[in-house]
Amino acid sequence: MKTLFTFIVSAFLFSACSQGNAQENITVSELNAIEFNSDDSKVVLDVRTAQEYAEGKIAGSKNLDVLKTDLFTTSIEKLDKNKTYYVICRSGSRSLKAANQMKEAGFKNVVNISGGMQAWEAANFPVEK
């Protein structure tokens, strides 16, 4: 019985750790439905490399490469922590890392985009080059 309890607790802790900081996640369809026209309190933050970003991006998005760790860290410190940031990357992995880092840095509203630009393009949503 003790072994079963230890296994269950270990599985729960592993699951919790792999979830990161449990910030909100939405799909690309949900992101596409959000009105961004004149609302500067909402920002799409693309955390891919500059080259990936140049190959196709969501119109109006901002680019900060999460792989440039020190630059990313200093750059997010300059952002308004009260805005809502919709964080996207190629597939959803780097954006999850970036979103967690932003939450740890004190950002109030950070949303990870599940599936990233791959899912955005697969859904035939507009891409700006």
Q: What is the pLDDT of residues 10-60, one digit of tens each?
A: 433 333 333 444 469 999 999 999 988 777 899 999 999 999 999 999 999
Which residue in the block uniquely carries the two structure tokens 């998005």?
Answer: 61
What pLDDT does residue 64 have? 97
How does strand 109-113 pair with strand 84-88?
parallel
Nearest CA-CA partner of 98 in 125, 127, 63 = 63
- Global pTM reads 0.82
Average pLDDT in the chain: 86
CB contact burial 35-60 (16+ within 10 A = b; e otherwise): ebeeeeebbbbbbbbeebbeeebbee
Cα gap 113→116, rounded to integer Å: 6
Q: Where are the domains of the chain?
A: 21-122
What pLDDT does residue 23 have? 66
Give catalytic residues, as residue numbers: 89
End-to-end C-alpha distance for the chain, whole angstroms: 59
Q: What is the pLDDT of residues 77-92, one digit of tens each?
A: 999 999 999 999 999 9
Domain 21-122 has CATH 3.30.1130.10: no
